[in-house]
């Protein structure tokens, strides 16, 4: 496919994804690159030409365990290079970067200013979301964001609006949607609306210092059980009302150690959610659903059908969630199952539950 010239202001514009030789990547923008074979994505607000080499260069913001997991997966793709790692803890950034032959940076701004990136992974704690996403988007870079999207709703909504305005590829780390057993559950439920959903996240406190601090993590529903909520939205539908009740044993400033919640789905289905971090092990994490003549129980690793037959997942989800995003960055027809805008709907539900627990009252959602 041959490119057409970029239109002028007010005429609509293009972002062009080119496959070019590495020696051309250093100088951007290159006005004559529109003579190359390429794939165009159209946007009404930007008039720039963004170059993506055959080897996609990814920057990673955050150097914790989740970032390391993504780095391990990405480094296994022959068409991906980890171009840099940034963390406010420079030693931690250096440790992850050195494992992948990449430079380390003490701030996300330094990583972005170094240039040469095709996409950015934002793998930071809940309280640190906002500026990394805004700054990456201002560089016109596609972003992969690890959940939760932010502590609040406004920050996530502003990021979603900017992604939409720029028409950039995006993805969020709700990898459960890529489980083989989730695909099978959807097939089994086809034509049988779910009437009851039971979600649970009964676990231990993760070994990070900020997690019990309510102002930094946002609580267990937002930080962990959001995976279950996303699955409930997929299998059951949107939620119209929530009423969460926390256990009255919380230390001032700490998150609720146990919460139960009632959810009413827009189509009339009933739902319950139970969370706890009081344990010393991961006791039970997943979603049970009941429809006409069938009961399914899903975890991250297996699907139980009618309490009898168990199907193990193929273990591909954490690879697929990264591969599909890279494909989207490269301009391919990618199966990105949770772009940022879709994840925002799950985030709204999690925020509503957290608000309900804090205010001790039901909260209505728009659906």
Of 24 and 287, the structure prediction assigns the larger pLDDT to 287
Q: Dump pLDDT digits (tens) for 152-168.
A: 999 999 999 999 999 99
**112 in a domain, yes or no?**
yes
| CA angle 240–245–251, rounded 5-degree value | 135
Residues 24, 111, single domain; the answer is no
Residue-wise pLDDT tens digits, 248-258 = 876 889 999 99
According to DSSP H, which parts of 57-130 are helical? 65-75, 90-99, 108-114
pLDDT recorded at residue 21? 39
Q: Which helix (H) or strand (E) holds 143?
A: strand 143-145
Q: Does residue 122 lie within any of the structural domains?
A: yes
Is 6 a residue whose pLDDT tops 50? no
Same-domain pairing of 280 and 342: yes
Average pLDDT, the chain: 89
225 and 356: one domain? yes
Q: Are residues 72 and 23 in the same domain?
A: no
Q: H-helix or E-strand containing 298?
A: strand 294-298
pLDDT in tens, 167-184: 999 999 999 999 999 999
Instruction: Clarify whether residues 164 and 180 are in a common domain.
Output: no
Look at residues 168, 193, 224 and tell me which one is the last residue of a structural domain. Answer: 168
Own/partner contacts of 47-51, CB < 8 Å, gap of 24 or more, are: 47/6, 47/7, 47/8, 47/9, 47/13, 47/14, 48/13, 48/15, 48/140, 49/6, 49/14, 49/15, 49/16, 49/18, 50/15, 50/16, 50/17, 50/140, 51/16, 51/17, 51/18, 51/20, 51/24, 51/25
Choice among 118-132, 194-208, 246-260, 295-309 with the minimum mean pLDDT: 246-260
pLDDT at 249 (0 to 100): 72
Entry pTM: 0.87
> Rounded to the nearest 5 degrees, what angle is found at the Cα of 119, between the Cα atoms of 116 and 124?
115
Statement: residue 10 has pLDDT above 90: no
Q: Is the pLDDT of residue 20 over 90?
A: no
pLDDT (0 to 100) of residue 304: 99
Which residues touch 72 (CB under 8 Å, ≥6 apart)?
Answer: none
Q: How confident is the model at residue 50 (pLDDT cuts 50, 70, 90)?
A: low
User: Which CATH number does the domain housing residue 160 bear?
Assistant: 3.40.50.720
Q: Is 86 strand, coil or helix?
A: strand
Confidence band of 5 (pLDDT split at 50, 70, 90): very low
> Is residue 29 predicted with pLDDT exceeding 70?
no
Is 300 within the bounds of a domain? yes
Q: Is 74 helix (H, G, I), strand (E, B) or coil?
A: helix
- From CA 352, how far away is CA 200, in angstroms rounded? 17
- pLDDT at position 252 is 86
| Nearest in space to 62 (alpha carbons), one of 24, 89, 41, 44 | 89
* CB 1 within 8 Å of CB 39: yes
Taking residues 55-70, report their average pLDDT.
Answer: 98
Where are the strands (E) in 190-293, listed by range?
A: 194-204, 239-246, 258-265, 270-279, 284-291
Are residues 28 and 83 located together in one domain of the fold? Answer: no
Per the domain annotation, does 320 fall within a domain? no
Burial pattern 323-361, b for ≥16 Cβ within 10 A else e, equals bbbbbbbbbeebebbbbbebbbbbbbbbbbbbebbeeee
Domain final residue pick, 150, 168, 186: 168
Task: With respect to residue 328, please indicate whether it lies within any of the assigned structural domains.
Answer: no
Confidence of residue 367 (pLDDT cuts 50, 70, 90): low
Given 53, 76, 92, the domain boundary residue is: 53
Mean pLDDT calculated for residue range 337-354: 99
What is the model's pLDDT at position 1? Answer: 26
| 95 and 19 within one domain | no
Number of separate domains in the chain: 3
pLDDT at res. 113 = 98
Domain span at residue 121?
Answer: 56-168
pLDDT at 51: 55
CATH code where residue 290 lies: 3.30.360.10
Give CA–CA dist 174/218, Å, rounded.
18
CA atoms within 13 A on the CB side of 98: 6
Residues 83 and 107 in one domain: yes
User: Are residue 37 and residue 60 in the same domain, yes or no?
Assistant: no
Tell me the mean pLDDT in the region 113-142: 98
- Whether residue 13 is predicted with pLDDT greater than 50 in this model: the reply is no
Residue 296, phi-psi category: left (phi > 0), alpha (psi -120 to 50), beta (remainder): beta
Same domain, 246 and 291: yes
Question: Quick check: 14 pLDDT over 70?
Answer: no
C-alpha 182/C-alpha 200 separation (Å) is: 17
22-26, 103-107, 122-126: least confidently modelled range: 22-26
Is residue 321 domain-resident?
no
| Same domain, yes or no: 133 and 272 | no
DSSP 255: P
pLDDT for the residue 248 = 87
What distance in Å separates the CA atoms of residue 218 and residue 207, rounded to the nearest whole number?
16
Residue 322 domain-assigned (yes or no): no
In whole angstroms, what is the distance from residue 198 CA to residue 236 CA? Answer: 11
Q: Do 134 and 162 form a contact (C-beta atoms < 8 A)?
A: yes
Q: How far apart are CA 218 and CA 126, in angstroms?
A: 7
Same domain, 287 and 197: yes
How is residue 127 annotated by DSSP? Answer: G
């Amino acid at each position: 496919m041959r490119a057409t010239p970029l239109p002028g202001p007010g005429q609509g514009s293009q972002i062009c994804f080119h496959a070019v030789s590495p020696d051309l990547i250093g100088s951007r923008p290159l006005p004559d690159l529109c003579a190359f074979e390429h794939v165009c994505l159209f946007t009404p607000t930007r008039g720039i030409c963004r170059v993506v080499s055959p080897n996609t260069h990814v920057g990673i913001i955050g150097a914790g365990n989740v970032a390391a997991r993504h780095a391990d997966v990405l480094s296994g793709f022959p068409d991906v290079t980890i171009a840099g790692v940034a963390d406010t803890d420079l030693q931690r950034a250096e440790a992850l970067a050195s494992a992948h032959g990449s430079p380390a940076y003490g701030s996300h701004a330094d990583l972005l200013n170094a240039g040469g990136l095709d996409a950015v992974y934002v793998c930071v704690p809940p309280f640190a979301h906002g500026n990394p996403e805004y700054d990456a988007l201002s560089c016109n870079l596609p972003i992969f964001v690890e959940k939760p999207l932010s502590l609040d709703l406004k920050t996530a909504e502003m990021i979603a609006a900017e992604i939409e305005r720029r028409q950039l590829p995006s993805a969020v780390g709700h990898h459960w949607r890529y489980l083989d057993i989730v695909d099978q559950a959807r097939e089994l439920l086809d034509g049988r609306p779910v009437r009851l959903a039971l979600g649970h996240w009964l676990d231990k406190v993760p070994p990070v210092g900020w997690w019990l601090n309510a102002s930094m993590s946002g609580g267990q529903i937002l930080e962990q059980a959001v995976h279950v909520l996303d699955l409930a939205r997929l299998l059951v539908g949107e939620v119209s009302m929530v009423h969460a009740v926390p256990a009255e044993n919380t230390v001032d400033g700490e998150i609720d150690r146990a919460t139960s919640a009632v959810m009413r789905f827009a189509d009339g289905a009933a739902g319950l959610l139970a969370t706890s971090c009081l344990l010393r092990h991961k006791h039970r994490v997943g979603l049970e659903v009941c429809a006409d003549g069938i009961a399914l129980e899903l975890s991250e690793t297996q699907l139980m059908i009618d309490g009898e037959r168990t199907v193990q997942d193929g273990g591909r989800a954490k690879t697929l969630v990264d591969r599909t995003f890279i494909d989207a960055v490269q301009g391919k027809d990618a199966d990105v199952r949770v772009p940022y805008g879709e994840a925002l709907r799950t985030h709204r539900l999690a925020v509503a539950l957290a608000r309900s627990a804090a205010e001790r009252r039901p909260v209505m959602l728009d659906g």
